[in-house]
Amino acid sequence: MPYTVVIMPEYITPLPGMLAFTLETAVNHVLQMDMESPARVKKLEGRLLQLDLEGLGITLFFTFKHGVVRVRLEAEGTPDTVINGTPVALFSMAEPEEADWGLPESKVQINGDASLARDLERIFSKLEPDWEGPLAGMLGDTAGHQVAQGLRQGVETARETARSASKVLSDILKDRRS
Residue 59: phi and psi, rounded to 5, are -115, 130
CB 58 within 8 A of CB 90: no
Closest residue by Cα to residue 121 from 151, 103, 97, 153: 97
Task: Output the average pLDDT for the chain.
Answer: 75
pLDDT of residue 11: 75
**What is residue 146's three-state secondary structure?**
helix
Mean pLDDT of 60-85: 92
How many angstroms separate the Cα of 43 from the Cα of each of 32, 111, 127? 15, 21, 16
Measured CA to CA, the distance from residue 64 to residue 71 in angstroms comes to 9
> What does the pLDDT read at residue 129?
58
Predicted local confidence at residue 9, as pLDDT: 60
**Is residue 173's pLDDT more than 70?**
no
Mean pLDDT of 8-31: 83
pLDDT given at position 2: 57
**What residues does 109 pair with on adjacent strands?**
84
Please state, in angstroms and rounded to a whole number, the distance separating the CA atoms of residues 24 and 29: 8
What residues does 53 pair with on adjacent strands?
Answer: 58, 85
pLDDT in tens, 97-119: 544 444 445 578 889 998 888 88
Q: Could you tell me which residue, 16 or 91, shows the higher pLDDT?
A: 16
Question: How confident is the model at residue 12, as a pLDDT?
Answer: 80
- Per cent of the chain over pLDDT 70 is 58
For the segment 74-87, the average pLDDT, to the nearest whole number, is: 90
- More confident call, 99 vs 163: 163
The rounded distance, in Å, linking the Cα atoms of 140 and 132 is 10
pLDDT at 45: 93
**Mean pLDDT, residues 6-25 taken together:** 80
